[in-house]
Amino acid sequence: MGEHHSITITEQLLESEDFMYKRGVLQQYHHSLGSLDAALHALVHNIIVGENQKGEVVEAMQQETRSYMMRNQLLLNQLGNRVTRSVAALDDQIDDRKSQQLTLTYENTPSG
């Protein structure tokens, strides 16, 4: 009886594919959120400043609106970064699934 040997190889089962185009769809939503936020800020600003409103309440509303806009902008920036990282991670995960590790076991029998 011969000796048993094993060899492990990684085989690419499917071709790699770039999924970074998926980022565009998510970025459209990101852009829409930014546009909606800017429109809300402009509307509030026009109501307060456009009608020449004055006083402590108006100033507090303006400050709160600016603060809200800045928080939203920070969140949108984080979202943009996360979209890029998430799509890149998805791309890597899909590529990893397209290859498979195979272990071949064979018996080395003397010829004779």
Over residues 65-75, the pLDDT tens digits come to 889 889 999 99
Largest CA distance in the chain: 105
Q: Is the pTM of this model over 0.75?
A: no
In a domain? residue 70: yes
Residue 112 pLDDT greater than 70, yes or no: no
In a domain? residue 75: yes
Looking at residue 35, its pLDDT comes to 92
CA distance 100 to 97: 7
Q: Are 16 and 95 within 8 A, CB to CB?
A: yes
50 vs 109 pLDDT, higher one: 109
Q: Please provide the average confidence, as pLDDT, over all residues in the chain.
A: 84
Residue 1 pLDDT greater than 70, yes or no: no
Domain count along the chain: 1
In a domain? residue 68: yes
Q: Which domain holds residue 72?
A: 18-97
